[in-house]
Structure 1
Amino acid sequence: MRRLSYLAVLLILSASLAGCTSPPDGTEIASGCTYSDALNFNESAVTDDGSCEYPEPPEETPGCTYEGATNYNEAATVDDGSCEYPEPPEETPGCTYEGATNYDEAATVDDGSCEYPPDPVLGCTNSSALNFNATADTDNGSCRYIQPHVLMVLLDGWRPDVIAAAHTPTIDMMMQDSAYSMEARVEDTTISGSGHSSFLTGVHRDKHNVHGNSFGDANYQEYPYWFNLLKYERPEMHTAAYHNWLPMANTALDFSVCGYCVDMYVTGSDNLIATQLATDLANQQMDAVTIVIDAPDAAGHGYGYHPLIPQYVAAMNQSDAWLGTIMDAIFARTNYAEEDWMVILSTDHAGSGYGHGYNIPEHREVPLIIWGAESPGPIWPAPDAVDIVPTALHHMGVEVRPEWDLDGRAVGLEPTGPPDAELGVNLVFNGDGELERGMTPGFDASVPGWVDNGTMTTWIYDVWDYLQKTDPGPADGGSNYFGGGTGDGNSTMHQEIDLTGIAEEIGWGNLTYSLTAYIGGYLSQNDCMEVLVEFFDSSGNLLLSGGIGPVYAADRNYTTGIHLHGVIGQVPADSAWIRVTLNAYLEYGNNDAYADDVSLILSTQT
């Protein structure tokens, strides 16, 4: 009975499914090739009818299909086992580590032979440093360098000849390692105010505008105390000033003109400031220092300026003792071995009788001693007080800026002396007066290379009512010419020329000299210039003299100008040295005797 029931169900289902194989509307079912890779694939066919057609399989291309083989065939489709392979490269043993000292870039196999550099030796590798380490190969920034320091000492009223008469062990010690001159020149006024100002600013009085002991019109704004210039370039420098003359110091160091240029300012008596400086040197940072000692000037005014005056000599002895205390303090500084000290000694003027203030050698020629200079020995030509500031700045590593308009130059940097005599060249040193700047009339400039016993000076061209470049004169007269000066009398200057360098030629007896110069004057004034030449033997005996001029107003047709004059003569065979002299003779007023381009040439006769 159960089997009959199952059969009935199957029959019913079979009848229903059979009816589903044909669309109800009698539509035909599409048939064809349903294999998509077949050539006759019919994408609309529902049932596959076995009609599919297939492409012929590609023809096999046998060959080597391994790309690394030497006979690789990129067209081969079937590897036929014919591949041939390159011989393996020959191994090159060596050190393959690039950091090794024996690295071999051609090596292919490391053979363990690499050698490595030793560990670096750290230290200072700069040979100019104080702590240079010759074994160090790697600089670690530890180098220490010697540090420059400057002390400028002004001994007011100091005559050069008192050194020999006084007991000065400190100065004597310093002289052995100093550049020096006993003929340095100070301002023509030889007054403390102008002298101190030039000493401390590096310019002449026509710039700092202090012409006496009044400071009301001082031009310290434009030409300040030298600390200002130092701090401008090296603001870390520590500066200290020790003064005993308040009018000058207070004006020059006033905040309105010096700002923060001074870190320590001490005033008082000579003994107080000298003692205080020595104390401060022991425990203070000291890079640039000035001190003014008044004792020689006070003794000179009170008892007389002369090496035979006991009180003046005693003042010099005491000044040297104070200086010794200060130098001992420098030597005792903790880091003295790492400090390069320069100590500059000079003054504002010398003196005679009971005073000073005249434009004469006894008042104007002074000592200048530079202990610690790069080149010890005499300074030639004679320096000027305005050279002190540039010298100090140079030592401190500061290059003078053109806009500072300083007048001096750094001295003591190299050995100096008169040039050796030669044939065929001008033997007159600074014969054109161009070595330093000239002045306007009313100021007396020093003339380097010449011994000036009066008011002879160099003036600048084109000052109204004086010599103009458009007046008769040399085609290229430069900036300066020689003038008789603004004194009330005649003036003179000379220089001596050593002939050792041409002694053999002179001994031949066939040399001639040619002395030439442009000389003249002003309009109808008979102020007149002459140039003399004198030949001396080795014993100082005069052998021959000659010269040109004087030239009077009538000789120049009463016009302002300078004209070329000359003389030729025979050089005596025994000549050892020559003196060339300029004499300016005054008629009245200022001494308007002029000269330029003074020349003396020795040559063989032709």
Structure 2
Amino acid sequence: MPRSRLHCSSIAASILLALACAAPAMAKTPKVLFIGTDGFRGDVYGTTPTPNLDALVADGYLGREGLTADTAISGTGWSSLFTGVERDKHGVYDNSFKGKNYAAWPDVLSRVEAVAPGKRTAAALSWSPLATEIPWKADTVYNAGSDANVLSKGLELLGEAAGPDVLLLDFNQPDEAGHAGAYFNRDASGYTAAIRGIDGYIGQLTAKLRARANYANEDWLIIVGTDHGGSIHHGHNTPEDRKALIAFSGESVPKLGLEPLRLAPRQVDVAPSILAHLGLAVPAGLDGRPMHKPAREAAPAFGVNLLANADAEYSQGRIDRAYDSDVPGWRKGNGGQVVNYAQYAWLPARPSGGGANLLIGRDTSRSNTLSQRVDLRGLNLSDGAATFKFNADLGASSGHRARVFLRFYDLRGLASFSAAGIGHVFRGSDYYRYDIAADRVASGYPQSIAANWPGLEKFAGGARDIDAAFEAGNGKVYFFKDAQYLRYDLAARRADPGYPAAIAGSWPGLEKFAGGARDIEATFFFSRSKLYFFKGDQYIRYNLDSDRADSYYPGYLSDATWPGSGYWPANWSGALNFANSKSYVFKPGEYLRYDRVLDRADAGYPAAISASSWPGLQALYTGSAFELAPAGGNGALQTYALQGRVPADAQWAEVEIRFEHGNATGDAFADKLGLTIER
């Protein structure tokens, strides 16, 4: 019996359907939209409404820890963004563009045109020097002269059927507003209004992009970046001025959210990310790397090195000794730099089979540090059975020394204040009474906090683990713990009625700390109008008489803000204020002394906490601080290592490399640091 035409047609249709399912999906066309935001300080993101940028972050990730160049100026920052190399290569030190070296390190659009001339490239630039000073070899370079013109041109190009393969936009409004009001800060209304205006532009651009007729067949990488931050204007080598914002978003970008990586994206990562997304080779010698598809960072684990960029190989060696460059993964304190082993005559030869780079101190006029903090809370340490292995390759020229510190932090904190010649020190559940005249802990201490300070048991969790304290000059002491505070009457020896209370709402302005109004780490009481709170790498000045934080805070710990203390750019604790104008700041194993009259740290600090420096307090951090300390420099690079037990209550580990200098010739250096925890 002959088969029907319908039956034959259904067989043919099934075959075609099977072939269609078996065929690979048509690859989408990669395209890039870069939205540059001049002067958008990284840490201001999240403090004013930016719903359109928030939507991009939800579809990718954003980092705020990468630093622009130490000049913190537009010409330098944009050059790093567009070329993928640092200042010492592209040669742009300021807005004159004198010394520019674009011939050796061309912009990303020129690189695209050189290897893929069929791709359409375009730039619309509000700041005119970007159009006139950079020798773009692009299909379209529009010297817009205003943000409104940039937006109009961007929408026009995105509305075209073919559209650009790479579109770079530069908006200048935040920078203009920051200069007009003198401040680049969340408290400057004109500045935050400008950021909200840019966010509106982002919304219009992304809506136009998604409305493209061929959008379903396009793979758009959207990058948002900024050239510098700011404080009182900008152009200073300070964290405020150098904090940059870089965000990656799009279908192919991992959905990592806010601040997901210790090796945060940097300005120099933008150009290689554009090239890689387009499927083009990333040229050798660029300082950045593709960061549009980073792997999710692994949680802390036993048996692996917990330090990021521990061998300096994530970075490129710098060729300008004076350049205070960013060092990915490490927090800078008064400098610190990555160089090639062969960069200077006084450096050792590159080890056989080793990496190309090592870490040096850079600024020989003062001690420099590089530090990083490791979160240990994902590890089970509570049984006290875990051990650590800590190692580093260290060396120095004559007169210099490299030392490395390992510190373990727990939740016990260290809080202290002084009144009537007595220092009161609190750690964990212990209270120490320190006789300032005798310069030692009084006999019979430590004792329990609960037994000596009735009322502190009202804190959630009881009379222990006080974070910070200060005496306000009127017999009232304020204690801070987690999200609460308590006011205490020294004369009556009791907590005032109605306490504890929430810090948030009671101390206006402290909510501006990263993480909010909680977990205060230290206080300095200079006067009722100059009370300082410290948390992480930030500080806030508070006026007790007006009962609110001063405007334009938080600031950042640095040598510019706290002279002489820049080697400790984060995590101060236990500030003890003596009547002789001296304040003392502690870390596990060490302390520094700060002169409140001279407003600078005294020379010769940090120093060790010992029985001679703090008799009776030397056990505060027993088992929490360790040091790798060579005797001196002889040019050789040697491996130093130690092992020990991890405190059972450890929450974080901090590693600090300190480069100590005795002359202007040579330096101290370090490489191949390791911190592993075993069970």
TM-score normalised by L of structure 1:
0.69
Matched, 1:398 2:273: no
Map 1:307-318 → 2, pairs under 5 A: 307-318=186-197
- After superposition, the Cα gap between the structure-2 partners of 1:335 and 1:264, relative to the gap in structure 1 and judged at 3 Å, is farther
Identity %: 29
**Structure 2 counterpart of 1:206:** 88
**Structure 1 counterpart of 2:234:** 355
User: Whose helix fraction is larger, Structure 1's or Structure 2's?
Assistant: 1
**Contact 1:381 1:417 survives alignment (8 Å):** no
- After superposition, the Cα gap between the structure-2 partners of 1:233 and 1:381, relative to the gap in structure 1 and judged at 3 Å, is same
Q: Give the counterpart of 1:522 among 397, 410, 419.
A: 397
**Structure 1 counterpart of 2:356:** 479
Map 1:120-159 → 2, pairs under 5 A: 134=17, 145-159=27-41
**Structure 2 counterpart of 1:9:** none
**Contact 1:241 1:291 survives alignment (8 Å):** yes
Q: Distance in 2 between matches of 1:347 and 1:570?
A: 44
**Structure 2 counterpart of 1:175:** 57
One-letter amino acid matched to 1:480: N
Q: Distance in 2 between matches of 1:327 and 1:548?
A: 52
Q: Give the counterpart of 1:286 among 164, 172, 178.
A: 164
**Contact 1:376 1:415 survives alignment (8 Å):** no
How far is the alpha carbon of 1:467 from its aligned partner?
A: 1.1
How far is the alpha carbon of 1:196 from its aligned partner?
A: 0.7
Partner SS for 1:429: coil
One-letter amino acid matched to 1:263: T
- After superposition, the Cα gap between the structure-2 partners of 1:406 and 1:119, relative to the gap in structure 1 and judged at 3 Å, is farther
Q: Give the counterpart of 2:316 among 437, 440, 445.
A: 437
**Contact 1:538 1:577 survives alignment (8 Å):** no
Q: For residues 263-284 of structure 1, what are the alpha-carbon distances to aligned partners after superposition, in whole Å with 9 as ceiling and x for unaligned?
A: 3534221111112211332236
**Contact 1:469 1:477 survives alignment (8 Å):** no
**Contact 1:515 1:547 survives alignment (8 Å):** no
How far is the alpha carbon of 1:487 from its aligned partner?
A: 7.1
How far is the alpha carbon of 1:349 from its aligned partner?
A: 1.1
Q: Give the counterpart of 1:364 among 213, 223, 242.
A: 242
Q: For residues 326-361 of structure 1, what are the alpha-carbon distances to aligned partners after superposition, in whole Å with 9 as ceiling and x for unaligned?
A: 222212222222222221001111111122231x32
Q: Distance in 2 between matches of 1:186 and 1:568?
A: 37
Is the deviation greater in 593-602 or in 382-391?
A: 593-602
Matched, 1:375 2:258: no
Q: Distance in 2 between matches of 1:394 and 1:120?
A: 45
**Structure 1 counterpart of 2:152:** 275
**Contact 1:121 1:135 survives alignment (8 Å):** no
Q: Give the counterpart of 2:404 among 500, 524, 531.
A: 531
Q: Give the counterpart of 1:197 among 52, 57, 79.
A: 79
Q: Distance in 2 between matches of 1:513 and 1:122?
A: 68
**Contact 1:123 1:140 survives alignment (8 Å):** no
**Structure 1 counterpart of 2:376:** 499
Map 1:222-261 → 2, pairs under 5 A: 222-254=104-136, 258=137, 261=138
Q: Give the counterpart of 1:302 among 180, 183, 190.
A: 180
How far is the alpha carbon of 1:118 from its aligned partner?
A: 4.9
Q: Distance in 1 between matches of 2:628 and 2:295?
A: 37
How far is the alpha carbon of 1:388 from its aligned partner?
A: 0.7
One-letter amino acid matched to 2:139: V
Q: For residues 456-508 of structure 1, what are the alpha-carbon distances to aligned partners after superposition, in whole Å with 9 as ceiling and x for unaligned?
A: 121111223431317xxx665521111112375332222222335541xx344
- After superposition, the Cα gap between the structure-2 partners of 1:181 and 1:121, relative to the gap in structure 1 and judged at 3 Å, is farther
**Structure 2 counterpart of 1:219:** 101
- After superposition, the Cα gap between the structure-2 partners of 1:120 and 1:443, relative to the gap in structure 1 and judged at 3 Å, is farther
**Contact 1:391 1:411 survives alignment (8 Å):** yes
**Structure 2 counterpart of 1:427:** 306
One-letter amino acid matched to 2:173: A
Matched, 1:407 2:280: no
One-letter amino acid matched to 2:393: Y
**Contact 2:334 2:363 survives alignment (8 Å):** no
**Contact 1:350 1:364 survives alignment (8 Å):** yes
- After superposition, the Cα gap between the structure-2 partners of 1:335 and 1:593, relative to the gap in structure 1 and judged at 3 Å, is same
Map 1:338-353 → 2, pairs under 5 A: 338-353=217-232
**Structure 2 counterpart of 1:24:** none
How far is the alpha carbon of 1:152 from its aligned partner?
A: 0.8
**Contact 1:215 1:248 survives alignment (8 Å):** no
Q: Distance in 1 between matches of 2:666 and 2:176?
A: 35
- After superposition, the Cα gap between the structure-2 partners of 1:138 and 1:528, relative to the gap in structure 1 and judged at 3 Å, is closer
**Contact 1:123 1:137 survives alignment (8 Å):** no
TM-score normalised by L of structure 2:
0.62
One-letter amino acid matched to 2:389: S
- After superposition, the Cα gap between the structure-2 partners of 1:124 and 1:411, relative to the gap in structure 1 and judged at 3 Å, is farther
**Contact 1:230 1:393 survives alignment (8 Å):** yes
One-letter amino acid matched to 1:406: L
Structure 2 portions without partners, runs of 5+? 414-464, 466-587, 589-620
How far is the alpha carbon of 1:399 from its aligned partner?
A: 2.8
Map 1:535-554 → 2, pairs under 5 A: 535-537=408-410, 544-551=623-630
Partner SS for 1:510: coil
Q: Distance in 2 between matches of 1:181 and 1:397?
A: 24
One-letter amino acid matched to 1:531: V
- After superposition, the Cα gap between the structure-2 partners of 1:190 and 1:581, relative to the gap in structure 1 and judged at 3 Å, is same
Q: Give the counterpart of 1:334 among 207, 213, 227.
A: 213
Partner SS for 1:350: coil
**Contact 1:183 1:365 survives alignment (8 Å):** yes
**Structure 2 counterpart of 1:461:** 341
Partner SS for 1:198: helix
**Contact 2:392 2:673 survives alignment (8 Å):** yes
Q: For residues 71-124 of structure 1, what are the alpha-carbon distances to aligned partners after superposition, in whole Å with 9 as ceiling and x for unaligned?
A: xxxxxxxxxxxxxxxxxxxxxxxxxxxxxxxxxxxxxxxx999x9x95799999
Matched, 1:601 2:676: yes
Q: For residues 300-322 of structure 1, what are the alpha-carbon distances to aligned partners after superposition, in whole Å with 9 as ceiling and x for unaligned?
A: 22321111111111111121122
CA-atom RMSD in angstroms: 3.3
Q: Distance in 2 between matches of 1:282 and 1:384?
A: 30
**Contact 2:174 2:194 survives alignment (8 Å):** yes
Structure 1 portions without partners, runs of 5+? 1-110, 126-132
**Contact 2:73 2:234 survives alignment (8 Å):** no
Total equivalences in the alignment? 466
